Amino acid sequence: MAQAFRSIRSFAEIAEFVAQEGAMLTDDFSQAFTETVEGYRISTADDMANCDMPDALQVQLATEMVMRTLFDVLRDSRLESIADRLAWGFVHAFHRVGEQLDGEADKAAMKVKSLIRDADGSEVMMSELEDAQVLCQSLDETRDAVACMRDYAAATFHAETGRPWSSPRGSLVSSKRTASIIAGQDFLAARRQRRIDAHHPQAPMVIFSGGADGWYDHALIWDRLDGIRARIPAMVLATTAQERGCDAMAAAWAASRGVRVIAFTLKRKLGKQAGFHRNDQLLELRPVEAVVAQGSGLQSHLARGVRAKGIPAHFITLASQRQIGG
């Protein structure tokens, strides 16, 4: 998403910026902070609430202010050198809460499924089903709002540090279901389809793998991926899901561009063969293009597989990085 960052120094200034003609709400916040269910609650212990979502523009500005204020107060101080580490933790906090909400929503969906299976048509059962459906949809709505805040905080982190933020595991896929679901069966079907779209998308697949050590030039990786996306706008990126180095750079690029990610982690039970099995999984996706950045023998193995299958590919070496400060 396109970012237009503004420096906000206090919460009191948020209202002022909202009132100014130049304050612009991004489409991501506009969609993520739209109510999708009439009643709202994210815990069975909560009463049903009818309050609105917070103002999307104020949340957008407040999210940026939280991040920028941290850098501002530590700048030119003894703690300036660790500002980026602290800010990384702020973004990660948004990410962790989003993951927790996603897990809670999955459990709520299982409850809905159980109630549908055991439904006897009674008024009590139908009321319980309706409550469970509201809970699940409320959790989905909340998770999408938090994920939107995380992505914006990550973009602010990138603007301040010049380095992309990436999660320690998983992807940064954010989405928003815009249609309200009424019937219990339709609700579950729509939610299931959303999960399929997120994790098994039917779109042109581009595979990516790179080394974890020795890489610092994220712009080199981003430029190459931008070139591919310009030719394949609907691409989905499949990575080898390493927590640092090239894969982390690629995951951060995908988050900043709104590109869906499939992160293939290692199956540890396969021992020394786990990495090679993961490479085989990537090749089985029938990718339309591949990017392999220099790393270990696993990247060499994947490069050989890519060549053998005739997949259009980009091979990037450590030596091709721009010199720091150059």
Question: What's the average model confidence in pLDDT over 296-312?
Answer: 94
At 10, is the pLDDT very low, low, confident or very high (cuts 50, 70, 90)? low
CA 318 to mean position of chain CA atoms: 27
Domain coordinates of the chain in residue numbers? 12-199, 205-320
User: Are 178 and 283 in contact, with CB atoms under 8 Å apart?
Assistant: no
Question: What's the average model confidence in pLDDT over 171-182?
Answer: 36
At 251, is the pLDDT very low, low, confident or very high (cuts 50, 70, 90)? confident
pLDDT > 70: percent of the chain: 80
Q: What is the pLDDT of residue 179?
A: 26
Question: What's the average model confidence in pLDDT over 84-88?
Answer: 93
User: What is residue 219's three-state secondary structure?
Assistant: helix
Return the number of other C-beta atoms located less than 10 Å from residue 204's C-beta.
16
User: What is residue 49's three-state secondary structure?
Assistant: strand
At 90, is the pLDDT very low, low, confident or very high (cuts 50, 70, 90)? very high
pLDDT > 90: percent of the chain: 30
Question: What's the average model confidence in pLDDT over 96-122?
Answer: 84
Q: Which two tokens stand for residue 154?
A: 């990550």
Predicted TM-score of the model (pTM)? 0.61
Task: Give pLDDT tens digits for 189-202.
Answer: 666 666 666 666 67
Q: What is the pLDDT of residue 75?
A: 93
At 162, is the pLDDT very low, low, confident or very high (cuts 50, 70, 90)? confident
Mean of the per-residue pLDDT values of the chain: 81
Cα–Cα distances in Å, from 274 out to 5, 213, 269?
42, 19, 8
Give the residue among 153, 155, 159, 131 at the shortest CA–CA distance from 47: 131
Question: What's the average model confidence in pLDDT over 122-145?
Answer: 85
Residue of 14 and 138 predicted with greater confidence: 138
At 81, is the pLDDT very low, low, confident or very high (cuts 50, 70, 90)? very high
Task: Tell me the CATH number of domain 205-320, given options 1.10.3470, 3.40.50, 3.10.450, 3.30.450.
Answer: 3.40.50
Q: Can you tell me the distance from the alpha carbon of 118 to that of 135, in angstroms, rounded to the nearest whole number? A: 18
